[in-house]
Amino acid sequence: MRSEQKTDELLSDPSILEEEELKATSPWQDGYRQLKKNNFAIAGFVIILLFILLGLFAPLLTPYGYEEQVLVDRLKPPSSDHWLGTDDVGRDIFTRIAYGARISLQVGFFAVSGALIFGTLLGIIAGYFGRWIDMLISRIFDILLAFPSILLAIAIVAILGASLQNALIAIAIINIPIFGRLVRSKVISLREEEFIMAARAQGMKNGRIIFHHILPNSLAPIIVQTTLGFGTAILEAAALGFLGLGAQPPTPEWGKMLADSRDFIQLAPWTLIAPGVSIMLVVLGFNLIGDGLRDALDPRMKN
């Protein structure tokens, strides 16, 4: 009788039916719905998508090669032939920006992936098992965080040698404790939950508990930090490139392009504006996406 009465209410009032449908959705579906309503996050997705397409289709978008030098065209201002002008050795800046998008996005992806994998693993081990393991891993994180990140990255690259690959390794290392501490705090809050205690009481092994219960319930903050980490990694790679410790010539890396153009800031400002604005837009895009994901996935940010 009660079920029939509830069905009649749902059919008679569409607002009740819509409310019931919203209740039936999963947290991920609810987060996706909230993310679609965030115009700033959508703008961030558009910015990053444009740079991804720019990097992928760079050979089709420009007739020049990123190493091609035409000395008679050096320091030419933007024109129909060279949309963003040329640098001090006559290379087309738009071409180098397009190919540089590949470098920056690859550095962001691989550096953040390395930090994500090792940081998450160490954070889960420290948070779940606790005791001396937690103390040891936490002290390692504290040591890494005690140094300014860019100085630690410079020291690592100085030891390994100046190259894009070593810069990538350095960026991954300095971001490991950020992911590790985030995951550790989340695991500590989860391990005392009733469903975890019930799993232990049923004799479930630690590995199964971690991968089937702990990790899935820790994904939301990990996803947000991963997105924000992309922007940070790209900015750090540009800083190392500017100092000559990242990509080496003639690789079209945006930070290195800024360093090569600093002597022409008054004579040819377009040589600095293009790579500087590119770095700013990509970092802004990832930060907008990260903020949108945080608002969508964090229950405390919802009304």
Lowest average pLDDT, out of 34-38, 133-137, 169-173, goes to 34-38
Strand partners, 86: 92
The phi, psi pair for 183, rounded to 5°, reads -70, -40
For residues 244 and 198, the answer to whether their CB atoms sit within 8 Å is no
Residue type, 211: F
Q: Which tokens is 275 given?
A: 């790579």
Q: Check residue 295 and give its pLDDT.
A: 80
Question: What is d(CA 117, CA 36) in angstroms, rounded to the nearest whole number?
Answer: 28
| Tens digit of each residue's pLDDT (9 = 90 or more) over 244-270 | 898 888 889 999 999 988 888 888 899
**Average pLDDT of the segment spanning 205-231:** 86
Q: Which two tokens stand for residue 224?
A: 């947000």
What six digits make up the tokens of 91?
A: 């290379």
Lowest mean pLDDT among 162-171, 189-198, 280-289, 294-303: 294-303
Specify the CATH number of the domain 27-59+99-301: 1.10.3720.10
Cβ neighbours for 91, distance < 8 A, ≥ 6 positions apart: 64, 66, 67, 68, 69, 70
Beta bridge partners of 92: 86
Q: Residue 148 burial by CB count (10 A; 0-12/13-18/19+): exposed, middle or buried?
A: exposed
SS3 84: coil
Q: Distance between CA 221 and CA 24 in Å, rounded?
A: 23
Please state, for a pLDDT cut of 90, what percent of the chain lies above it: 46
**What is the mean pLDDT of the segment spanning 102-127?**
92
pLDDT digits (tens, 9 = 90+) for 4-14: 554 555 445 55
Position 287 pLDDT exceeds 70: yes
Average pLDDT over residues 25-32: 68
DSSP-derived 3-state class of residue 5: helix
Give me the residue spans of the domains in the chain: 27-59+99-301
Cα–Cα distances in angstroms (integers) from residue 130 to residues 138, 185, 200, in the given order: 10, 11, 16
Residue 175 predicted with pLDDT over 50: yes
Beta strands, E only, the chain: none
pLDDT of 27 higher than 70: no
Mean pLDDT confidence for 175-198: 87
